Amino acid sequence: MKNYKEFVLHASRAVSILRDMAELSVYDMAADGLALKTARKYAKLAEVFFGSTDSKRLQRESVVLDEERGLSLENLLMIDGHAQKLKKLRGAGWKLRAELIALEGSYEEVNAYGNQRVDELVGEAVKKTGVTISRSKNGMRTFSITDTQRRITDFEKILDVAITSDGPRSQALLDAFWNHVEGGEEGGGLLRPEYRSVIAIGLDDFAKISAGSGDEVIVGLSDGTTMTGAELVNAAIAGAFGGNIYAGLFHPTAGPVNLYEARFASFKQRIMATAENLVCPWPDCGVPADRCQVHHLDAHKNGGQTNPANLTMLCKYHNGVNDDGAQPGCPKKSRRWSRGRMRRHHGTVKLHTPGGKLLENTHDLSTMGAMNLI
């Protein structure tokens, strides 16, 4: 029973553990043996209890009360899960956290009461209209539309009329949808896309495509997708690339050097940064570079230059959480709330964690950018 008692004692020190976790990044915790998914979960909880908030008094009182009661991480995760459902009600989240932390009872009893309180405060959730497009996975994406029953049903009837096959309904509707979008034999439909995305191709692969072996080559695009060399050739023949063709110069250790273009010099530096990183280079991020922002590795406010080697593409979220003020080797206390910062190391862009580790993104497209082709 000794080991079990030690386990129970350890579990009751959740707040102290979260206080330590608030000084680490998820990657530092993962390096200590935690699954990255678990590290993210605990890091988020640590930020809730020790990060910035508009309810400082309730946050402080909740921390003190939890230290007195000795709730486990499992209990705090459950309590925070209920509170997160009240984000749109200003101040309600922290009031519910404090209420549930103070509540006597088993995990199941507190959880049931939390569900009841959320239902009382929020009521039944109403779906929002809009379009949702998933990220690419194994060459596939999902396109979902939520709107009024009348509009969706009317569109379904339009597709029903256009169905021409006897196969499964889902496939028949898909065929009818694309026939409607592309115009079918009658022509019309939506405008055909013109590729504004950057396509990274190595010289060896370019030679294969030119020699007619395009099916053997897979290239990455900054819109978060891939295409074969054959598809690339067909798109070029169809005029999908417009009149601009660019060639970038990259050094194997220094990074991007210069960009040469056939016509216009607009967005030169953005294109260089996009060609280097087809997705946001923050570890585990998959936002396509086309939807990212240009980021100065050495912050402009700190004297960082606007040149190719000092630029990269970061998604809006990671551009916001990147610690522009943190520098490697700075005192630990000043890094307490840091998520880390992006820097160039041996030519490639990596995340420098608060714990001093250098990490690269492992997304499939992150290995298909310009620096991986030299």
* Residue 227: its H or E element: strand 226-228
Q: Domain for residue 193, yes or no? A: no
Same domain, 152 and 107: no
Task: Dump pLDDT digits (tens) for 43-94.
Answer: 999 999 998 888 899 999 999 998 888 899 999 999 999 999 998 888 899 9
Same domain, 254 and 333: yes
Same domain, 233 and 301: yes
What's the confidence (pLDDT) of residue 61? 92
What's the confidence (pLDDT) of residue 280? 94
Mean pLDDT of the 338-363 span: 88
From 15-19, 260-264, 297-301, the region with the lowest mean pLDDT: 260-264
* CA gyration radius, the chain: 26
What is the distance between the alpha carbons of residues 160 and 289, in angstroms, rounded to a whole number? 37
Same domain, 272 and 163: no
Q: Domain for residue 334, yes or no? A: yes
Same domain, 92 and 210: no
Looking at per-residue pLDDT, the higher value among 244 and 362 belongs to: 362
Q: Is 106 exposed, middle or buried (0-12, 13-18, 19+ CB in 10 A)?
A: exposed
What is the distance between the alpha carbons of residues 241 and 78, in angstroms, rounded to a whole number? 51
In DSSP notation, 4-49 reads: HHHHHHHHTTHHHHHHHHTTS-HHHHHHTT--HHHHHHHHHHHHHH
Looking at per-residue pLDDT, the higher value among 64 and 300 belongs to: 64
Round the average pLDDT of the chain to a whole number and report it. 80
Task: Dump pLDDT digits (tens) for 180-234.
Answer: 887 765 555 666 666 566 777 776 777 677 666 667 778 788 777 788 877 876 7
* Closest to 358 in 3D by CA, of 370, 341, 371, 374: 341
Same domain, 314 and 216: yes
Q: In the predicted model, is pLDDT for residue 331 greater than 70? A: no
**Structural domain for 32, as ranges:** 2-122
Of 73, 90, 122, the domain-final residue: 122
Residue 226 DSSP SS3: strand
